[in-house]
């Protein structure tokens, strides 16, 4: 397995499950990861939250949740689940902490993806 | 084989990629990033999409909106939609399913599951399509016959009220389709189907294989007149140049446990009873029809035994040649000597035989009998031929050529002695197949007769295309020509002339009057078959007729007049030729013999007869020897030959040669005689 995938696995992603889930070999899985890391929904989520546009935020989070789930990027997925449910239920209490958690996991993910070496 | 194509509708590129990757080994995959693009793809017709994978949250057009529009289009109704979405809430699922999604897979999904579900839905959809092929009539879109019986049986089982069945028939539909084309035929069928759709609110209806329609509905729900009127109106709106006549056969269902096919058949029988009427519109199944059905059942039940026990008897109707005055051939006609019902004629049993296919068994039997008869010395020596009928269904059920060839070989016959009569009905179905068989038959030496020429719709056409040796005109078709006998006669005359021109021999059958005989004779049609000369008779009686000349003009007085004028012209000639002739032949004249054989009334005689036998020309002489004369006359009449009688006239032997001319209306006989005194 490539170093990238090893690192993701160390981070907490269930890489084997992810590949199996989408019927992918390492190459395709990696390709998907690379596409995902530039997913515009990350930006959309940020902007929506800043603007307190919770509907748009929900849509973006929801989409991100789906893909991360499919790729079995568990840490990111879990954080997105929490946020999505809150937004769906229009429960805006402690929203900030949920958003921060998502941001943190997102950063972690991107760091691994962009790591060269 | 074309790969099945799946359309993925999801705004997320990565999701599409993943799904594409998952499906690509088994399917062709097309992608759309939102509902609108999906519609563009679907409507372009560039792909034949077998299933959809649909995301719910998309820009421009989301999954719900897409579903609403998609399911409203009947053209897409058979394509399964599998919703794959991150929104795994119950509301989302319910909403999607309500809008017509077939399945719901939450994200994150498992590729294996998605694949399997897609496969299941594609397969299910395919099976349903196949089923529809069997259950929906492709022309009208309503139930096919099979589906009608299935659905109506269920309807009958579940319905609490009493039901009735309609059998709707279209008069001469196959003719209409042949004349005006398949498209017109289909228009008519669709028109009727549409009216059924509009008017039958409760019940089941469908199109039957024979181009009829069946309806099963509650008795009180719709008046048959209303339905009839609606159809009549609808059909006339089609603007065809030919009036369409439809008929309804109606059967009330009293016993819901009975088989639907049997019950519909009863409605069909009722329709059959008025099928050709231009006045009757509906008929109810009743006692009369039930009796007819019972009769048919009886025939059906006893026909095999009849064949095995040789209850079918072949009779022969002679065909006379007007020039030679003797029979030259006969048509073999079958009668059934039924042990219970007595003698039955073809019209009694042929319809049932045709319906059940048994006709071929019977025809083979008749052909064999005919061959047996032809192989007898009597037939061979007298150079007689027979004609047999080939029913239209024979061509589709048995190897006609093979069978006939085998028979002529078995009985060592010349094929041309067994003439084959084919009726026009046989030509109209699958003409190419028939043509092939006919050419084969002729190749083997058989001669073909086209029976009932002029009775159907396309006689001339058929004459052009099929190889025929004989044509049979049934004079019954040309009698009672709605007041215009002259026109009818003209037509017969034209047919005969045409046949002569294309070197086809004409046989006239159904000849019943002297007038017809004279008429046909004058046109050069010399082969006559009909009750005027003889009805169909058993073999024994037929053989007796061979060699016996018949006289063409049967009315006694006219015949006598003809003969008399001939004779009188002959011996009233004056001049030397006459006396020479008279000297040569001696006395001759014509006398009438009374029915009791004792009275000889010499109607006319030549001068020598008078000189030799007295003014009464021989009467006295004959009456003196009336026993011998009577015997001689009898012989002359029964054998149609010149017969010699030796008489004594005052001890002087007289030799009288008798020839039978004709019988008169009052049963007396006319003879001519020549007498020499030694």
- Across all residues in chain B, what is the average pLDDT? 86
Tell me, yes or no, if A94 comes closer than 8 A to chain B by beta carbon. Answer: no
Most confident of A4-13, B296-305, B365-374: B365-374
Instruction: Give the model's pLDDT for residue B634.
Output: 86
What element of type H or E holds B574? none
Question: What distance separates the 2 farthest-apart alpha carbons in chain B?
Answer: 140
Percentage of chain B modeled with pLDDT above 90: 37
Question: Which carries the bigger pLDDT value, residue B564 or residue B290?
Answer: B290
Residue from B527, B457, B540, B541 nearest B499 by CA: B527
Cα separation, B210 vs B217, whole angstroms: 21
> Chain A partners of B115 at a C-beta cutoff of 8 Å?
23
Rounded to the nearest angstrom, the minimum Cα separation between A21 and chain B is 5
- Would the CB atoms of B12 and A62 count as touching at under 8 Å? no
> Chain B partners of A59 at a C-beta cutoff of 8 Å?
57
Beta-carbon pairs below 8 A across chains A and B: 60
Contact B40, B85 (CB under 8 A): no
Tell me, yes or no, if B112 comes closer than 8 A to chain A by beta carbon. Answer: yes
pLDDT band for position B264 (cuts 50, 70, 90):
very high
Instruction: Give the model's pLDDT for residue A3.
Output: 86
- Would the CB atoms of A70 and B85 count as touching at under 8 Å? no
Sorted by sequence, the CB contacts under 8 Å of residue B52 that are 6+ apart come out as B6, B7, B8, B9, B38, B70, B79, B80, B81, B82
Residue from B149, B146, B121, B117 nearest B133 by CA: B146
Tell me what the mean pLDDT of segment B212-232 comes to: 92
Evaluate whether ipTM surpasses 0.90.
no
pLDDT digits (tens, 9 = 90+) for B306-328: 999 999 999 999 999 888 788 99
Tell me, yes or no, if A12 comes closer than 8 A to chain B by beta carbon. Answer: no
pLDDT digits (tens, 9 = 90+) for B127-139: 888 787 788 888 8
Contact B449, B420 (CB under 8 A): yes
Most confident of B16-20, B181-185, B412-416: B412-416
> Chain B partners of A35 at a C-beta cutoff of 8 Å?
13-14, 17
> Which residue among A31, A39, A69 sits closest to B107, beta carbon to beta carbon?
A69
Which range, of B63-72, B261-270, B274-283, averages the lowest pLDDT?
B274-283
Residue B257, pLDDT > 90, answer no
Instruction: Give the model's pLDDT for residue B274.
Output: 85
- Would the CB atoms of A66 and B108 count as touching at under 8 Å? yes
Percentage of chain B modeled with pLDDT above 70: 92
Instruction: Give the model's pLDDT for residue B181.
Output: 85
The residue length of chain A stands at 117
| Chain A residue with minimum CA distance to B22 | A23
Tell me, yes or no, if A77 comes closer than 8 A to chain B by beta carbon. Answer: yes
Which range, of B102-116, B198-212, B529-543, B652-666, averages the lowest pLDDT?
B652-666
| Chain B residue with minimum CA distance to A34 | B14
181-210 of B, contacting A, C-beta below 8 A: none
Tell me, yes or no, if B89 comes closer than 8 A to chain A by beta carbon. Answer: yes
pLDDT digits (tens, 9 = 90+) for B369-410: 999 999 999 999 988 999 999 988 888 788 999 999 999 999
Residue from B597, B645, B604 nearest B623 by CA: B597
Instruction: Give the model's pLDDT for residue B506.
Output: 94
Instruction: Give the model's pLDDT for residue A117.
Output: 44
Contact B282, B252 (CB under 8 A): no
Instruction: Give the model's pLDDT for residue B2.
Output: 64
| Chain A residue with minimum CA distance to B12 | A63
> Which residue among A21, A39, A77 sits closest to B110, beta carbon to beta carbon?
A21
Instruction: Give the model's pLDDT for residue B454.
Output: 77
> Which residue among A20, A39, A59 sits closest to B14, beta carbon to beta carbon?
A39
Tell me, yes or no, if A95 comes closer than 8 A to chain B by beta carbon. Answer: no
Neighbours of B484 (CB within 10 A): 9
- Would the CB atoms of A67 and B15 count as touching at under 8 Å? yes
Question: Hey, of A34, A63, A78, A86, which one would you mutate to test binding to chain B, going by the most B CBs within 10 A of its CB?
Answer: A63
- Would the CB atoms of B111 and A23 count as touching at under 8 Å? yes
Residue B555, pLDDT > 60, answer no
Question: Hey, of A70, A80, A109, which one would you mutate to test binding to chain B, going by the most B CBs within 10 A of its CB?
Answer: A70
Cα separation, B101 vs B79, whole angstroms: 10
> Which residue among A28, A63, A77 sits closest to B12, beta carbon to beta carbon?
A63
Which range, of B31-40, B356-365, B424-433, B514-523, averages the lowest pLDDT?
B424-433
Which range, of B23-27, B116-120, B276-280, averages the lowest pLDDT?
B276-280
Instruction: Give the model's pLDDT for residue B581.
Output: 59
Question: Which carries the bigger pLDDT value, residue B437 or residue B677?
Answer: B437
> Chain A partners of B31 at a C-beta cutoff of 8 Å?
none
- Would the CB atoms of B12 and A67 count as touching at under 8 Å? yes
pLDDT digits (tens, 9 = 90+) for B486-524: 888 888 899 999 998 888 999 999 998 888 898 898 888
Residue B271, pLDDT > 70, answer yes
CA distances, B191 to each of B184, B186, B267, B502 (Å): 11, 8, 22, 45
> Which residue among B11, B14, B112 sits closest to A35, beta carbon to beta carbon?
B14
Tokens of B556: 């006694």
Question: Which carries the bigger pLDDT value, residue B178 or residue B312?
Answer: B312
| Chain B residue with minimum CA distance to A69 | B108
Instruction: Give the model's pLDDT for residue B231.
Output: 93
> Which residue among B17, B57, B110 sits closest to A32, beta carbon to beta carbon?
B17
> DSSP letter at B143?
B
Burial B22-40 (b: 16+ CB within 10 A, else e): bbeeebbbbbbbbbbbbbe
Tell me, yes or no, if A78 comes closer than 8 A to chain B by beta carbon. Answer: no
Tell me what the mean pLDDT of segment B167-188 comes to: 86
pLDDT digits (tens, 9 = 90+) for B616-630: 878 888 888 888 888
Instruction: Give the model's pLDDT for residue B571.
Output: 55
Residue B672, pLDDT > 80, answer no
Question: Which carries the bigger pLDDT value, residue B49 or residue B431?
Answer: B49
Contact B29, B23 (CB under 8 A): yes
| Chain B residue with minimum CA distance to A25 | B21
| Chain B residue with minimum CA distance to A40 | B12
- Would the CB atoms of B21 and A24 count as touching at under 8 Å? yes
Tell me, yes or no, if A35 comes closer than 8 A to chain B by beta carbon. Answer: yes
> Chain B partners of A28 at a C-beta cutoff of 8 Å?
21
Question: Which carries the bigger pLDDT value, residue B336 or residue B587?
Answer: B336
Q: Tell me the pTM.
A: 0.48
Residue A15, pLDDT > 70, answer yes
pLDDT digits (tens, 9 = 90+) for B417-464: 999 999 876 666 667 778 888 999 999 999 999 988 877 766 777 788
Cα separation, A47 vs A91, whole angstroms: 19
Residue B569, pLDDT > 70, answer no
Instruction: Give the model's pLDDT for residue B458.
Output: 65
């Amino acid at each position: 397995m490539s170093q990238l995938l090893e690192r993701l696995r160390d981070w907490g992603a269930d890489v084997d499950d992810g590949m199996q889930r989408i019927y992918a070999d390492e190459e395709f899985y990696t390709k998907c990861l690379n596409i995902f890391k530039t997913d515009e929904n990350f930006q959309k989520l940020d902007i929506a939250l800043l603007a307190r546009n919770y509907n748009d935020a929900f849509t973006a989070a929801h989409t991100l949740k789906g893909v991360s789930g499919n790729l079995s990027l568990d840490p990111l997925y879990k954080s997105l689940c929490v946020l999505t449910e809150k937004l769906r239920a229009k429960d805006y209490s402690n929203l900030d902490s949920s958003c921060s958690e998502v941001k943190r996991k997102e950063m972690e993910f991107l760091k691994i993806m962009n790591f060269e070496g | 084989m074309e790969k099945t194509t799946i359309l993925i509708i999801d705004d997320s590129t990565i999701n599409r990629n993943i799904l594409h990757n998952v499906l690509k080994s088994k399917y062709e995959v097309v992608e759309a990033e939102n509902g609108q693009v999906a519609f563009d793809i679907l409507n372009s017709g560039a792909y034949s999409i077998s299933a959809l994978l649909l995301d719910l949250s998309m820009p421009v057009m989301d999954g719900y909106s897409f579903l609403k529009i998609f399911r409203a289009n009947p053209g897409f109704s058979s394509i399964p939609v599998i919703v794959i979405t991150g929104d795994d809430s119950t509301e989302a699922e319910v909403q999607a399913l309500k809008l017509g999604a077939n399945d719901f897979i939450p994200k994150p999904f498992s590729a294996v599951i998605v694949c399997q579900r897609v496969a299941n839905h594609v397969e299910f959809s395919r099976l349903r399509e196949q089923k529809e092929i069997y259950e929906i009539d492709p022309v009208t879109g309503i139930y096919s016959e099979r589906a009608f019986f299935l659905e109506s049986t269920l309807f009958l089982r579940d319905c609490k009220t009493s039901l009735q069945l309609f059998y709707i028939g279209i008069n001469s539909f196959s003719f209409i389709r042949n004349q005006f084309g398949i498209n017109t035929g289909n228009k008519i069928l669709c028109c009727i189907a549409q009216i059924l759709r509009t008017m039958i609110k409760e019940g089941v209806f469908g199109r039957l294989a024979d181009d009829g329609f069946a309806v099963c509905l509650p008795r009180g729900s719709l008046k048959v007149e209303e339905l009839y009127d609606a159809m009549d109106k609808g059909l006339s709106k089609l603007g065809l140049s030919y009036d369409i006549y439809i008929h309804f056969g109606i059967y009330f269902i009293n016993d819901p446990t009975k088989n639907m096919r049997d019950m519909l058949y009863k409605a069909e029988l009722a329709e059959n009873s008025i099928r050709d009427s231009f006045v009757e519109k509906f008929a109810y199944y009743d006692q009369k029809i039930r009796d007819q059905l019972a009769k048919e059942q009886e025939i059906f039940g006893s026909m095999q035994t009849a064949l095995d026990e040789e209850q079918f008897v072949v009779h022969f109707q002679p065909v006379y040649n007007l020039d030679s005055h003797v029979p030259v051939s006969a048509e073999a006609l079958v009668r059934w000597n039924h042990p219970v019902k007595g003698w039955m004629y073809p019209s009694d049993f042929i319809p049932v035989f045709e319906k059940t296919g048994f006709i071929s068994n019977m025809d083979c039997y008749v052909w064999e009998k005919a061959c047996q008869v032809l192989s007898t010395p009597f037939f061979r020596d007298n150079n007689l031929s027979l004609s047999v009928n080939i029913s239209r269904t024979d061509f589709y059920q048995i190897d006609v050529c093979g069978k006939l060839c085998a028979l002529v070989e078995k009985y060592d016959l010349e094929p041309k002695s067994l003439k084959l009569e084919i009726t026009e009905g046989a030509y109209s179905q699958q003409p190419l197949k028939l043509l092939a068989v006919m050419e084969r038959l002729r190749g083997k030496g058989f001669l073909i007769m086209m029976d009932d020429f002029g009775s159907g719709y396309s006689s001339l056409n058929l004459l052009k295309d099929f190889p025929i040796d004989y044509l049979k005109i049934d004079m019954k078709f040309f009698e009672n020509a709605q007041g215009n006998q002259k026109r009818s006669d003209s037509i017969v005359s034209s047919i005969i002339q045409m046949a002569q021109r294309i070197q086809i021999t004409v046989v006239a059958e159904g000849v019943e009057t002297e007038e017809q005989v004279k008429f046909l004779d004058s046109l050069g049609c010399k082969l006559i078959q009909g009750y005027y000369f003889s009805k169909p008779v058993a073999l024994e009686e037929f053989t007796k007729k061979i060699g016996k000349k018949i006289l063409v003009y049967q009315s006694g007085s006219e015949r006598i007049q003809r003969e008399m004028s001939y004779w009188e012209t002959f011996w009233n000639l004056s001049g030397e030729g006459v006396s020479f002739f008279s000297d040569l032949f001696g006395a001759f004249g014509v006398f009438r013999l009374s029915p009791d054989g004792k009275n000889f009334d010499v109607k006319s005689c030549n001068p020598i007869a008078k000189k030799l036998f007295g003014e009464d020309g021989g009467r006295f002489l004959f009456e003196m020897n009336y026993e011998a004369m009577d015997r001689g006359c009898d012989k002359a009449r029964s054998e149609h030959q010149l017969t010699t009688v030796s008489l004594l006239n005052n001890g002087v032997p007289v030799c009288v040669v008798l020839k039978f001319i004709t019988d008169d209306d009052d049963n007396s006989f006319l003879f001519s005689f020549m007498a020499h005194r030694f």
